Amino acid sequence: MSAETHPQRETHSFQAEIQQLLSLVINSLYSHQEIFLRELVSNASDALDKLRFRAITEPELLKDEPALELRIVPDADKGTLTIEDTGIGMTHDELVKNLGTIAHSGSREFLQALAQKGQKDMQLIGQFGVGFYSAYLVADRVEVVSRAAGEGSAWKWASEAHGTFTVEPAEKATRGTAITLHLKADQKEFLDEWKLRQLITQYSDYVGHPIKLQVTKQVGSGETQATESALEVVNKASALWQRAKSEVTDEQYQEFYKHLTHDYDNPLAWTHFKADGTQQFTGLLFVPKHPPFDLNSQQQRGVRLFVKRVFIMDRCEDLVPQWLRFVRGVIDSDDLPLNVSREMLQDSAVVRAIRKHVVKKSLDLLEKMAKDKPDDYRTFWESFGTVVKEGLTLETEHREKLGALVRYESSREEGLTSLADYVTRMKEGQEAIYYVYGESRKAVADSPHLEALKQRGYEVLFMTDPVDEWAAQGLREFQGKPLVSALNADLKLQSTDEQKKEKEQQSEGLKGLTDKMKDVLREDVREVRVSDRLTDSPVCLVVSEGGTPAYLERLLKERGKGMPRVKRILEVNPKHPVIEHLRGLLARDPAAPQVGEWIELLHDQALLTEGSPLSDPNRFARRMTALLTQLATNSPSATGNGIPAEQVPTPAVAPAPAQSTP
């Protein structure tokens, strides 16, 4: 941002992203210009809150103007609308920094989010702290005169949004900020007293400071009748959360949420409560419809802390656990000191009690939404399900409640299912809730690991979020049913005595082959054994105890958190034609070079089906080419007939047993 300095006036260029933003705001971002008033009033309210908090320890900041209020002054003769507050104010440097850049650090993220959402998502304005620029929806010139609390000088910022702004000394008798909008010719309706009163009531009735509107009144009568201007309080100026629930309408809750969050959409649900036990506090919590851009920030929290109606801090992370960071709202305590610090909050028994209550009320709210408004809950889960599942690894106390809230896709049908519904559909004799972990539904739906489960008619949950594997391990069981991964080596399926005996015989009959496979793959697998989970595929890799699924390994590696790979167990389907052929080939000629080739091909196939990379993809590709060439020319099968090892067909698509040597 460049600056051209004159004796009394500095000319600065906007940050590059600001110029893009102004174009978007003016031309396409908002569909309702009237939103500008809510944004500017909310900013002024924040400035008043900040001053009131600082005045707890610095009471001298209030001496030049004791009142904390907003004033809205229309001037029809000049065509201007002024929004003034007696809040914290801004210094010269703060004017340049706050009004010349987007949210100081969020400019690129803001513009990227706009691009992704088609430049039409109004909720983004407030999220990125750029509500000030909504003034240009109705004004072609904006002037800001501000005097910081405790400072003796004032400064004037002005711009017509053409790429530059000016900053120069100004006169202001008291602290605070006055924003004057020079309204466009077609926006003069916002000078109308009735219109302004209606907008304040609609959008800002719950601001906790008086909003005074300059109105014109007729005084006297007859020859002495005259017109005079006066400031009149328009809003209720009382904390909405302190009112009785019976006195607050749904529309009022929704508008308060928008004031609090700068979100354009209504919340999905909310809960309003008061605790009168050993600690006294009031709370109002909301569940948003869409996630904010910084949802995954580790510092992100959305609950404001008040003490005796005095704003203390925004995003109080000690009140809300990380896995509830999407919750928005306010907590107002009567027991905390007004000069509370972040350090004191961390060791406060009062805060721990409030936090426990916030968690309970949030879970109750989500349970009610899931029960009474399933469509809204589905919307919530698509936006915040991944965050909620983090709680399964962190909250042992509420594990069962969280388990009832989670939703997954499954092998039963398209769409989401709850664990409770899954349990009601479990087959007779089914002892566990089965799941498979992978990148997507498409990637796991036809996994060979599910073959025996499907054959038994068991439903399998598809877990496709990066957090799911940890969440399942945190939950462990639901309604007395253990959660079991279909990828795990210790998958125990109910079998009859006859089936167990048959497996023992198969294991004995394949011992020569499994020993050979273990020898060939000694660097890659921990064990080779006969499988009872495969019905159609020749082999699969399963995760041994302490191991990590392939998809999770890949995610950790991509994020620079790779760990030593624990060797898998290779399971073999004794009834598959390829395995039968390979056993026969090994029995006839234990030294046949094709045996090792086929074993490596089978291992490559297992790696591909679990989603792991191949150690030598070029070699695998050459084998596939050789196979396709052989099939195209209908040449004899490679069963000891002299075909070079590099041209042995891959077992994954080998022809039916008719081509195999008995």
| Cβ contact 179:84 at 8 Å | yes
Distance separating alpha carbons of residues 126 and 129, to the nearest angstrom = 5
Helices 374-394, 468-475: crossing angle, 10 deg rounding: 70
Sign of torsion over alpha carbons 76, 78, 83, 85:
negative
Q: Is 141 annotated as a binding residue?
A: no
Q: Is 572 annotated as a binding residue?
A: no
How crowded is residue 296: how many other Cβ atoms within 10 Å of its Cβ? 11
Tell me the three-class secondary structure of 93-145, residue by residue: HHHHHHHHCCCCCCHHHHHHHHHHCCCCCCHHHHHCCCHHHHHHHCEEEEEEE
Q: Is 647 annotated as a binding residue?
A: no
Q: Is 126 annotated as a binding residue?
A: no
Q: Is 106 annotated as a binding residue?
A: yes
Q: Is 127 annotated as a binding residue?
A: yes
Q: Is 265 annotated as a binding residue?
A: no
Residue type, 176: G
What are the tokens at 599? 């074993």
Q: Is 266 annotated as a binding residue?
A: no
Q: Shortest CA distance to 654 belongs to which of 539, 560, 533?
A: 539
Q: How far apart are the first and last CA of the chain?
A: 80
Q: Is 11 annotated as a binding residue?
A: no
From the number of C-beta atoms within 10 Å of its C-beta (0-12, 13-18, 19+), residue 285 rates as buried
Q: Is 311 annotated as a binding residue?
A: no
Q: Is 342 annotated as a binding residue?
A: yes
> To the nearest 10°, the Cα dihedral for 136, 140, 145, 146?
10
Q: Is 537 annotated as a binding residue?
A: no
Question: Helix or strand or coil: residue 480?
Answer: coil
What are the tokens at 303? 């609950």
Q: Is 85 annotated as a binding residue?
A: yes
Q: Is 522 annotated as a binding residue?
A: no
The separation between CA 220 and the C-alpha centre of its own chain, rounded to angstroms, equals 61
Q: Is 410 annotated as a binding residue?
A: no
Radius of gyration for the alpha carbons in the chain, expressed in angstroms and rounded? 34
Residue 617 exposure: Cα atoms within 13 Å on the Cβ side: 4
Known binding residues for ATP: 39, 43, 85, 90, 98, 105-106, 127-132, 177, 342
Known binding residues: 39, 43, 85, 90, 98, 105-106, 127-132, 177, 342
